[in-house]
Amino acid sequence: MKQLVDDGVLGSIYYYDSIRVNLGLFQHDCNVIWDLAPHDFSIMDYLISEKPIAVSASGKSTSIARKTSPL
């Protein structure tokens, strides 16, 4: 991919999207954005030599409350 970008085969890159579809086991002791996002930024920084004009991120809590029934 790096060679394709550097050679201009892909043309001008205006947009880069990174989606995490498998975050692994839920961990209460760390924030997934702080834990995984640096890797995505590092890949983008490697592939694209220009610096971004803007960066945005969004997320959604997927915690599910446990239903317990009295015994």
The answer as to whether 35 is a domain residue is yes
Name the pTM for this structure: 0.60
The answer as to whether 52 is a domain residue is no
Q: Please state, in angstroms and rounded to a whole number, the distance separating the CA atoms of residues 38 and 41.
A: 5
The answer as to whether 58 is a domain residue is no
pLDDT at 62: 63
HSE, CB side, 13 Å, CA atoms: give it for residue 26. 5
The answer as to whether 31 is a domain residue is yes
Q: Please state, in angstroms and rounded to a whole number, the distance separating the CA atoms of residues 11 and 7.
A: 9
Q: Residue 41's domain spans which residues?
A: 2-47
For residue range 44-57, list pLDDT tens digits in order: 899 998 888 888 77
Picking from 9, 36, 8, the residue whose alpha carbon sits closest to that of residue 22 is 36
Would you place residue 66 in the very low, low, confident or very high pLDDT band (cuts 50, 70, 90)?
Answer: low
The answer as to whether 7 is a domain residue is yes
One-letter amino acid for residue 21 of the chain? V
The answer as to whether 18 is a domain residue is yes
Q: Higher pLDDT residue, 32 or 67?
A: 32
In the chain, how many domains are there? Answer: 1
For residue range 3-43, list pLDDT tens digits in order: 999 999 999 988 888 877 776 677 777 777 777 788 888 99
